[in-house]
Structure 1
Protein backbone atom coordinates (compact mmCIF):
# COMPACT_ATOMS: atom_id res chain seq x y z
CA UNK A 1 0.00 0.00 0.00
CA UNK A 2 1.58 3.28 -1.14
CA UNK A 3 1.36 6.10 1.38
CA UNK A 4 -0.04 9.56 0.77
CA UNK A 5 0.38 10.61 4.39
CA UNK A 6 3.26 9.14 6.37
CA UNK A 7 2.97 8.82 10.13
CA UNK A 8 5.70 8.41 12.72
CA UNK A 9 5.90 4.82 13.94
CA UNK A 10 4.53 3.14 10.81
CA UNK A 11 6.10 -0.08 9.60
CA UNK A 12 6.99 0.28 5.94
CA UNK A 13 8.86 -1.57 3.23
CA UNK A 14 11.71 0.27 1.59
CA UNK A 15 13.94 -1.42 -0.96
CA UNK A 16 12.27 -4.73 -0.09
CA UNK A 17 13.18 -4.58 3.64
CA UNK A 18 11.12 -3.83 6.73
CA UNK A 19 11.68 -0.37 8.25
CA UNK A 20 10.07 1.83 10.88
CA UNK A 21 9.43 5.56 10.40
CA UNK A 22 10.91 7.62 13.23
CA UNK A 23 10.42 11.12 11.85
CA UNK A 24 8.74 12.99 8.99
CA UNK A 25 10.19 16.25 7.66
CA UNK A 26 7.56 17.57 5.20
CA UNK A 27 9.76 20.25 3.64
CA UNK A 28 12.75 17.99 2.96
CA UNK A 29 13.34 16.39 -0.45
CA UNK A 30 13.57 13.01 1.27
CA UNK A 31 11.04 13.66 3.99
CA UNK A 32 10.68 10.20 5.54
CA UNK A 33 13.36 9.23 8.08
CA UNK A 34 13.43 5.53 8.97
CA UNK A 35 15.55 2.82 10.50
CA UNK A 36 15.82 -0.70 9.17
CA UNK A 37 14.40 -2.86 11.93
CA UNK A 38 16.84 -5.74 11.58
CA UNK A 39 19.94 -3.65 12.35
CA UNK A 40 18.82 -0.05 13.10
CA UNK A 41 20.55 1.38 10.03
CA UNK A 42 19.08 4.81 9.33
CA UNK A 43 17.88 5.89 5.89
CA UNK A 44 15.83 8.68 4.30
CA UNK A 45 13.33 8.35 1.45
CA UNK A 46 10.35 9.93 -0.26
CA UNK A 47 6.82 8.83 0.61
CA UNK A 48 6.30 7.34 -2.86
CA UNK A 49 9.27 5.00 -2.33
CA UNK A 50 7.75 3.11 0.61
CA UNK A 51 4.80 0.78 1.23
CA UNK A 52 2.81 0.50 4.44
CA UNK A 53 2.64 -2.67 6.53
CA UNK A 54 0.56 -3.19 9.67
CA UNK A 55 2.10 -5.80 12.01
CA UNK A 56 -0.19 -8.50 13.34
CA UNK A 57 -0.39 -11.72 15.34
CA UNK A 58 2.04 -14.43 14.13
CA UNK A 59 4.21 -12.09 12.09
CA UNK A 60 7.93 -12.80 12.39
CA UNK A 61 10.83 -10.42 11.77
CA UNK A 62 14.35 -9.55 12.87
CA UNK A 63 14.81 -6.87 15.53
CA UNK A 64 18.42 -5.75 16.01
CA UNK A 65 19.78 -9.04 14.76
CA UNK A 66 17.45 -11.37 16.67
CA UNK A 67 14.36 -13.11 15.32
CA UNK A 68 10.99 -12.64 17.05
CA UNK A 69 7.40 -13.77 16.48
CA UNK A 70 4.51 -11.49 17.44
CA UNK A 71 1.88 -13.20 19.61
CA UNK A 72 -1.40 -11.88 20.99
CA UNK A 73 -2.15 -15.13 22.83
CA UNK A 74 0.81 -15.14 25.21
CA UNK A 75 1.51 -13.26 28.43
CA UNK A 76 4.56 -10.99 28.42
CA UNK A 77 7.54 -11.93 30.56
CA UNK A 78 9.87 -9.76 32.61
CA UNK A 79 12.93 -8.86 30.57
CA UNK A 80 11.16 -9.59 27.28
CA UNK A 81 9.95 -7.19 24.60
CA UNK A 82 6.56 -6.00 23.43
CA UNK A 83 5.44 -4.12 20.32
CA UNK A 84 2.80 -1.47 21.04
CA UNK A 85 0.67 -1.70 17.88
CA UNK A 86 -2.56 -0.13 19.23
CA UNK A 87 -1.39 2.67 21.54
CA UNK A 88 -3.90 4.15 23.97
CA UNK A 89 -1.69 5.71 26.66
CA UNK A 90 -2.96 7.24 29.88
CA UNK A 91 -1.96 10.83 30.56
CA UNK A 92 1.05 9.73 32.66
CA UNK A 93 2.42 7.40 29.97
CA UNK A 94 4.59 8.28 27.01
CA UNK A 95 4.54 5.92 24.03
CA UNK A 96 3.21 5.91 20.50
CA UNK A 97 2.59 3.68 17.49
CA UNK A 98 4.79 0.59 17.12
CA UNK A 99 7.08 1.34 20.05
CA UNK A 100 9.47 -1.45 21.03
CA UNK A 101 9.52 -1.60 24.82
CA UNK A 102 11.24 -3.86 27.34
CA UNK A 103 9.13 -5.33 30.13
CA UNK A 104 10.13 -4.49 33.70
CA UNK A 105 7.20 -6.16 35.47
CA UNK A 106 3.95 -7.97 34.66
CA UNK A 107 0.60 -7.19 36.27
CA UNK A 108 -1.83 -9.89 35.11
CA UNK A 109 -1.86 -9.45 31.33
CA UNK A 110 -0.73 -5.81 31.52
CA UNK A 111 2.89 -4.69 31.84
CA UNK A 112 5.06 -1.92 33.20
CA UNK A 113 8.00 -1.22 30.91
CA UNK A 114 11.53 -0.10 31.74
CA UNK A 115 10.47 3.39 30.60
CA UNK A 116 7.85 3.31 33.38
CA UNK A 117 4.94 3.07 30.97
CA UNK A 118 1.91 1.03 32.02
CA UNK A 119 0.68 -0.72 28.88
CA UNK A 120 -2.61 -2.61 28.70
CA UNK A 121 -2.70 -6.05 27.06
CA UNK A 122 -5.02 -4.89 24.27
CA UNK A 123 -2.38 -2.38 23.19
CA UNK A 124 0.54 -4.68 22.50
CA UNK A 125 1.77 -7.88 20.93
CA UNK A 126 4.33 -10.00 22.77
CA UNK A 127 7.66 -10.41 20.97
CA UNK A 128 8.44 -14.09 21.50
CA UNK A 129 12.10 -14.95 20.75
CA UNK A 130 12.60 -17.16 17.70
CA UNK A 131 10.56 -17.85 14.58
CA UNK A 132 7.42 -19.90 15.06
CA UNK A 133 7.06 -22.56 12.31
CA UNK A 134 3.54 -21.27 11.58
CA UNK A 135 4.54 -17.59 11.49
CA UNK A 136 4.43 -15.16 8.58
CA UNK A 137 7.94 -13.89 7.80
CA UNK A 138 7.69 -10.13 7.15
CA UNK A 139 11.41 -9.26 7.18
CA UNK A 140 11.27 -8.85 3.38
CA UNK A 141 8.44 -7.78 1.13
CA UNK A 142 9.48 -10.40 -1.45
CA UNK A 143 11.86 -13.00 -0.07
CA UNK A 144 12.33 -14.52 -3.53
CA UNK A 145 14.36 -11.45 -4.47
CA UNK A 146 16.81 -11.93 -1.60
CA UNK A 147 20.10 -13.67 -2.39
CA UNK A 148 21.32 -16.72 -0.50
CA UNK A 149 24.35 -14.67 0.59
CA UNK A 150 22.09 -12.03 2.16
CA UNK A 151 20.06 -14.65 4.01
CA UNK A 152 23.28 -16.17 5.33
CA UNK A 153 24.43 -12.74 6.52
CA UNK A 154 21.10 -12.32 8.30
CA UNK A 155 21.70 -15.55 10.20
CA UNK A 156 24.98 -14.12 11.50
CA UNK A 157 23.63 -10.61 12.06
CA UNK A 158 23.13 -10.85 15.81
CA UNK A 159 26.76 -11.82 16.39
CA UNK A 160 27.95 -9.17 13.91
CA UNK A 161 26.02 -6.45 15.75
CA UNK A 162 27.30 -7.64 19.13
CA UNK A 163 30.88 -7.38 17.87
CA UNK A 164 30.27 -3.91 16.43
CA UNK A 165 28.81 -2.79 19.74
CA UNK A 166 31.75 -4.24 21.65
CA UNK A 167 34.40 -2.62 19.46
CA UNK A 168 32.79 0.81 19.00
CA UNK A 169 34.99 3.39 20.77
CA UNK A 170 33.82 6.64 22.34
CA UNK A 171 35.15 10.19 22.33
CA UNK A 172 37.52 10.43 25.30
CA UNK A 173 38.76 6.84 25.14
CA UNK A 174 42.50 6.70 25.80
CA UNK A 175 44.71 4.09 24.15
CA UNK A 176 48.30 3.03 24.83
CA UNK A 177 50.63 2.57 21.87
CA UNK A 178 52.49 -0.64 22.68
CA UNK A 179 55.18 0.15 20.13
CA UNK A 180 56.45 3.41 21.65
CA UNK A 181 54.66 3.78 25.01
CA UNK A 182 52.72 6.88 23.95
CA UNK A 183 49.10 7.46 24.91
CA UNK A 184 46.46 8.96 22.62
CA UNK A 185 42.83 9.94 23.04
CA UNK A 186 39.98 9.43 20.60
CA UNK A 187 39.22 12.98 19.44
CA UNK A 188 36.84 12.33 16.55
CA UNK A 189 34.66 9.58 15.10
CA UNK A 190 33.41 9.82 11.52
CA UNK A 191 31.16 6.94 10.48
CA UNK A 192 33.36 3.82 10.98
CA UNK A 193 36.66 5.70 11.33
CA UNK A 194 38.40 6.88 14.51
CA UNK A 195 40.89 9.75 14.75
CA UNK A 196 43.36 9.68 17.62
CA UNK A 197 45.13 12.69 19.12
CA UNK A 198 48.34 11.52 17.48
CA UNK A 199 46.78 11.96 14.05
CA UNK A 200 46.38 8.23 13.48
CA UNK A 201 43.20 7.18 11.68
CA UNK A 202 41.84 3.64 12.03
CA UNK A 203 38.53 1.90 11.46
CA UNK A 204 36.71 0.49 14.50
CA UNK A 205 37.77 -3.02 13.54
CA UNK A 206 41.41 -2.07 12.94
CA UNK A 207 41.62 -0.40 16.35
CA UNK A 208 39.92 -3.33 18.09
CA UNK A 209 42.17 -5.92 16.44
CA UNK A 210 45.37 -3.86 16.50
CA UNK A 211 48.49 -5.33 18.11
CA UNK A 212 49.85 -1.80 18.60
CA UNK A 213 47.00 -0.08 20.45
CA UNK A 214 45.57 -1.16 23.80
CA UNK A 215 42.53 0.47 25.48
CA UNK A 216 43.32 2.12 28.84
CA UNK A 217 40.33 4.15 30.05
CA UNK A 218 37.80 6.84 29.16
CA UNK A 219 38.81 10.32 30.26
CA UNK A 220 35.17 11.24 30.95
CA UNK A 221 34.48 8.48 33.45
CA UNK A 222 38.01 7.67 34.60
CA UNK A 223 37.41 3.92 34.52
CA UNK A 224 40.62 2.04 33.84
CA UNK A 225 40.62 -1.34 32.14
CA UNK A 226 41.57 -3.99 34.64
Structure 2
Protein backbone atom coordinates (compact mmCIF):
# COMPACT_ATOMS: atom_id res chain seq x y z
CA UNK A 1 0.00 0.00 0.00
CA UNK A 2 0.96 3.64 -0.38
CA UNK A 3 0.96 5.77 2.75
CA UNK A 4 -1.78 8.08 1.44
CA UNK A 5 -4.10 5.02 1.19
CA UNK A 6 -3.70 4.05 4.85
CA UNK A 7 -6.45 5.09 7.28
CA UNK A 8 -7.06 4.51 10.97
CA UNK A 9 -9.26 1.48 11.56
CA UNK A 10 -8.42 -0.41 8.37
CA UNK A 11 -7.86 -4.15 8.58
CA UNK A 12 -4.52 -5.07 7.03
CA UNK A 13 -2.23 -8.06 6.77
CA UNK A 14 1.27 -7.82 8.17
CA UNK A 15 3.60 -10.81 8.52
CA UNK A 16 0.76 -13.12 7.42
CA UNK A 17 -1.55 -12.06 10.28
CA UNK A 18 -4.58 -9.78 10.49
CA UNK A 19 -3.94 -6.38 12.09
CA UNK A 20 -5.81 -3.11 12.56
CA UNK A 21 -4.37 0.34 11.91
CA UNK A 22 -4.61 2.52 15.01
CA UNK A 23 -2.43 5.44 13.95
CA UNK A 24 -0.64 6.87 10.93
CA UNK A 25 2.32 9.16 11.62
CA UNK A 26 3.86 10.30 8.37
CA UNK A 27 6.97 11.82 9.96
CA UNK A 28 8.28 8.42 11.11
CA UNK A 29 10.14 5.88 8.96
CA UNK A 30 7.77 3.19 10.23
CA UNK A 31 4.74 5.40 9.96
CA UNK A 32 1.90 2.88 10.27
CA UNK A 33 1.09 1.76 13.82
CA UNK A 34 -0.86 -1.48 14.10
CA UNK A 35 -2.56 -3.76 16.60
CA UNK A 36 -2.38 -7.49 15.89
CA UNK A 37 -6.01 -8.51 16.35
CA UNK A 38 -5.37 -11.94 17.86
CA UNK A 39 -3.64 -10.49 20.94
CA UNK A 40 -3.57 -6.68 20.49
CA UNK A 41 0.22 -6.61 20.31
CA UNK A 42 1.44 -3.26 18.98
CA UNK A 43 3.52 -3.23 15.80
CA UNK A 44 5.26 -0.46 13.87
CA UNK A 45 5.40 -0.95 10.11
CA UNK A 46 5.77 0.74 6.76
CA UNK A 47 2.87 1.16 4.35
CA UNK A 48 4.71 -0.94 1.78
CA UNK A 49 4.75 -3.90 4.20
CA UNK A 50 0.99 -4.16 4.70
CA UNK A 51 -1.93 -5.30 2.55
CA UNK A 52 -5.45 -3.92 2.92
CA UNK A 53 -8.39 -6.23 3.66
CA UNK A 54 -12.06 -5.23 3.80
CA UNK A 55 -14.11 -7.58 6.03
CA UNK A 56 -17.14 -9.31 4.50
CA UNK A 57 -20.06 -11.56 5.43
CA UNK A 58 -18.94 -14.90 6.94
CA UNK A 59 -15.34 -13.78 7.40
CA UNK A 60 -13.90 -15.41 10.52
CA UNK A 61 -11.03 -14.01 12.59
CA UNK A 62 -9.49 -14.03 16.06
CA UNK A 63 -9.93 -11.08 18.40
CA UNK A 64 -7.97 -11.17 21.65
CA UNK A 65 -7.77 -14.95 21.80
CA UNK A 66 -11.37 -15.63 20.76
CA UNK A 67 -12.75 -16.46 17.33
CA UNK A 68 -15.69 -14.58 15.81
CA UNK A 69 -17.51 -14.78 12.48
CA UNK A 70 -19.23 -11.88 10.72
CA UNK A 71 -22.95 -12.55 10.18
CA UNK A 72 -24.83 -9.84 8.29
CA UNK A 73 -28.09 -11.79 8.28
CA UNK A 74 -28.64 -11.93 12.04
CA UNK A 75 -29.70 -9.16 14.41
CA UNK A 76 -27.72 -8.65 17.61
CA UNK A 77 -28.96 -9.08 21.15
CA UNK A 78 -27.76 -7.46 24.36
CA UNK A 79 -24.30 -8.79 25.17
CA UNK A 80 -23.30 -9.45 21.55
CA UNK A 81 -20.37 -7.76 19.84
CA UNK A 82 -20.66 -5.75 16.64
CA UNK A 83 -18.10 -4.60 14.08
CA UNK A 84 -18.73 -1.07 12.82
CA UNK A 85 -17.96 -1.19 9.09
CA UNK A 86 -19.73 1.95 7.82
CA UNK A 87 -19.36 4.51 10.61
CA UNK A 88 -21.63 7.56 10.47
CA UNK A 89 -21.71 8.74 14.09
CA UNK A 90 -24.01 11.48 15.28
CA UNK A 91 -22.59 14.51 17.07
CA UNK A 92 -22.63 12.93 20.53
CA UNK A 93 -21.35 9.50 19.46
CA UNK A 94 -17.69 8.49 19.33
CA UNK A 95 -16.69 5.59 17.11
CA UNK A 96 -14.81 4.98 13.89
CA UNK A 97 -14.05 2.36 11.23
CA UNK A 98 -13.89 -1.26 12.39
CA UNK A 99 -14.53 -0.50 16.05
CA UNK A 100 -15.64 -3.58 17.98
CA UNK A 101 -18.25 -2.68 20.59
CA UNK A 102 -20.56 -4.59 22.90
CA UNK A 103 -24.33 -4.21 22.57
CA UNK A 104 -26.24 -2.87 25.57
CA UNK A 105 -29.71 -2.78 23.99
CA UNK A 106 -31.39 -3.06 20.59
CA UNK A 107 -34.37 -1.23 19.12
CA UNK A 108 -35.57 -1.87 15.54
CA UNK A 109 -32.12 -3.09 14.56
CA UNK A 110 -30.36 0.01 15.87
CA UNK A 111 -28.17 -0.55 18.91
CA UNK A 112 -26.84 1.33 21.89
CA UNK A 113 -23.45 0.01 22.96
CA UNK A 114 -21.95 -0.17 26.42
CA UNK A 115 -19.98 2.93 25.39
CA UNK A 116 -23.32 4.77 25.07
CA UNK A 117 -22.88 5.01 21.31
CA UNK A 118 -25.99 4.85 19.17
CA UNK A 119 -25.16 2.78 16.07
CA UNK A 120 -27.64 2.45 13.20
CA UNK A 121 -28.35 -0.96 11.65
CA UNK A 122 -26.74 0.13 8.37
CA UNK A 123 -23.42 0.84 10.09
CA UNK A 124 -22.52 -2.49 11.68
CA UNK A 125 -22.36 -6.25 11.25
CA UNK A 126 -22.80 -8.83 14.00
CA UNK A 127 -19.85 -10.81 15.36
CA UNK A 128 -20.97 -14.33 16.24
CA UNK A 129 -18.69 -16.30 18.60
CA UNK A 130 -16.97 -19.25 16.97
CA UNK A 131 -16.63 -20.37 13.37
CA UNK A 132 -19.84 -20.66 11.34
CA UNK A 133 -20.44 -23.18 8.58
CA UNK A 134 -19.26 -21.79 5.26
CA UNK A 135 -17.10 -19.13 6.89
CA UNK A 136 -13.89 -17.75 5.39
CA UNK A 137 -10.66 -17.78 7.37
CA UNK A 138 -9.13 -14.28 7.44
CA UNK A 139 -7.02 -14.46 10.61
CA UNK A 140 -4.09 -15.38 8.36
CA UNK A 141 -3.23 -14.29 4.84
CA UNK A 142 -2.00 -17.82 4.08
CA UNK A 143 -3.15 -20.38 6.64
CA UNK A 144 -0.85 -22.99 5.11
CA UNK A 145 2.07 -21.14 6.70
CA UNK A 146 0.61 -21.58 10.21
CA UNK A 147 0.95 -24.86 12.10
CA UNK A 148 -2.13 -26.50 13.62
CA UNK A 149 -0.59 -26.04 17.07
CA UNK A 150 -0.13 -22.31 16.50
CA UNK A 151 -3.71 -22.00 15.27
CA UNK A 152 -4.99 -23.67 18.43
CA UNK A 153 -2.82 -21.48 20.64
CA UNK A 154 -4.03 -18.33 18.88
CA UNK A 155 -7.62 -19.13 19.88
CA UNK A 156 -6.83 -19.57 23.57
CA UNK A 157 -6.74 -16.61 25.94
CA UNK A 158 -4.31 -18.58 28.08
CA UNK A 159 -1.50 -17.99 25.59
CA UNK A 160 -1.60 -14.23 26.14
CA UNK A 161 1.53 -13.20 27.99
CA UNK A 162 1.33 -13.05 31.77
CA UNK A 163 4.14 -10.51 31.57
CA UNK A 164 2.14 -8.01 29.51
CA UNK A 165 1.39 -5.69 32.40
CA UNK A 166 -0.14 -3.08 30.13
CA UNK A 167 -2.84 -5.55 29.12
CA UNK A 168 -3.55 -6.59 32.72
CA UNK A 169 -5.67 -3.89 34.35
CA UNK A 170 -6.86 -4.47 37.90
CA UNK A 171 -9.77 -3.42 40.07
CA UNK A 172 -8.78 -0.09 41.59
CA UNK A 173 -6.94 1.24 38.53
CA UNK A 174 -8.03 4.75 37.58
CA UNK A 175 -8.37 5.91 33.97
CA UNK A 176 -9.39 9.07 32.21
CA UNK A 177 -12.31 8.27 29.91
CA UNK A 178 -11.41 10.75 27.19
CA UNK A 179 -14.75 10.68 25.39
CA UNK A 180 -16.66 11.72 28.52
CA UNK A 181 -13.78 13.65 30.16
CA UNK A 182 -14.30 11.58 33.31
CA UNK A 183 -11.78 10.16 35.77
CA UNK A 184 -13.09 6.75 36.72
CA UNK A 185 -12.03 3.61 38.59
CA UNK A 186 -12.28 -0.01 37.49
CA UNK A 187 -14.80 -1.55 39.91
CA UNK A 188 -15.27 -5.01 38.38
CA UNK A 189 -13.71 -7.28 35.76
CA UNK A 190 -14.35 -10.44 33.79
CA UNK A 191 -11.88 -12.43 31.69
CA UNK A 192 -11.92 -9.86 28.89
CA UNK A 193 -14.04 -6.91 30.06
CA UNK A 194 -13.78 -4.13 32.63
CA UNK A 195 -16.54 -2.09 34.28
CA UNK A 196 -15.91 1.45 35.45
CA UNK A 197 -17.48 3.31 38.32
CA UNK A 198 -19.32 5.68 35.97
CA UNK A 199 -21.22 2.73 34.47
CA UNK A 200 -19.24 2.18 31.26
CA UNK A 201 -18.30 -1.41 30.38
CA UNK A 202 -15.66 -2.02 27.68
CA UNK A 203 -13.53 -4.78 26.24
CA UNK A 204 -10.12 -4.92 27.90
CA UNK A 205 -8.40 -4.08 24.62
CA UNK A 206 -10.04 -0.63 24.48
CA UNK A 207 -7.84 0.48 27.36
CA UNK A 208 -4.91 0.53 24.92
CA UNK A 209 -6.64 2.99 22.58
CA UNK A 210 -5.06 6.36 23.33
CA UNK A 211 -8.07 8.13 21.82
CA UNK A 212 -10.37 6.54 24.42
CA UNK A 213 -8.51 6.03 27.70
CA UNK A 214 -5.46 7.27 29.57
CA UNK A 215 -4.12 5.40 32.60
CA UNK A 216 -3.83 7.74 35.60
CA UNK A 217 -3.14 5.40 38.51
CA UNK A 218 -2.32 1.70 38.74
CA UNK A 219 -3.36 0.14 42.04
CA UNK A 220 -0.81 -2.68 41.82
CA UNK A 221 2.04 -0.16 42.04
CA UNK A 222 1.28 0.20 45.76
CA UNK A 223 1.41 -3.54 46.46
- Is the contact made by 1:80 and 1:103 (CA closer than 8 Å) also made in structure 2? yes
- Is the contact made by 1:3 and 1:50 (CA closer than 8 Å) also made in structure 2? no
The alignment partner of 1:127 has SS state of: strand
- TM superposition score normalised by structure 2: 0.71
CA distance in 2, matches of 1:117, 1:73: 22
Shift of 1:159: 2.7
Offset from partner CA, 1:54-91 (integer Å, 9 cap, x none): 01111000011011000111111111110000111111
The alignment partner of 1:48 has SS state of: helix
The alignment partner of 2:160 has SS state of: helix
Shift of 1:3: 3.9
Partner of 2:158: 159
Partner of 2:63: 63
State whether structure 2 residue 74 is matched by structure 1 residue 74.
yes
Partner of 2:140: 140
Segments of structure 2 that go 5 or more residues without pairing to the other structure are 174-218
Using a 3 Å threshold, how does the CA distance of structure 1 residues 25 and 111 change in structure 2: closer, same or farther? same
CA distance in 2, matches of 1:136, 1:82: 18
The Cα RMSD (Å) is 2.6
Segments of structure 1 that go 5 or more residues without pairing to the other structure are 174-216
Using a 3 Å threshold, how does the CA distance of structure 1 residues 52 and 93 change in structure 2: closer, same or farther? same
Using a 3 Å threshold, how does the CA distance of structure 1 residues 164 and 102 change in structure 2: closer, same or farther? farther
- TM superposition score normalised by structure 1: 0.71
CA distance in 1, matches of 2:157, 2:134: 23
CA distance in 1, matches of 2:126, 2:6: 25
Partner of 1:104: 104
Using a 3 Å threshold, how does the CA distance of structure 1 residues 165 and 28 change in structure 2: closer, same or farther? closer
Using a 3 Å threshold, how does the CA distance of structure 1 residues 32 and 165 change in structure 2: closer, same or farther? closer
Offset from partner CA, 1:135-158 (integer Å, 9 cap, x none): 011000011111233223224x22
1:18-97 matches, within 5 Å, as: 18-97=18-97
Rg larger for: 1
Partner of 2:188: none
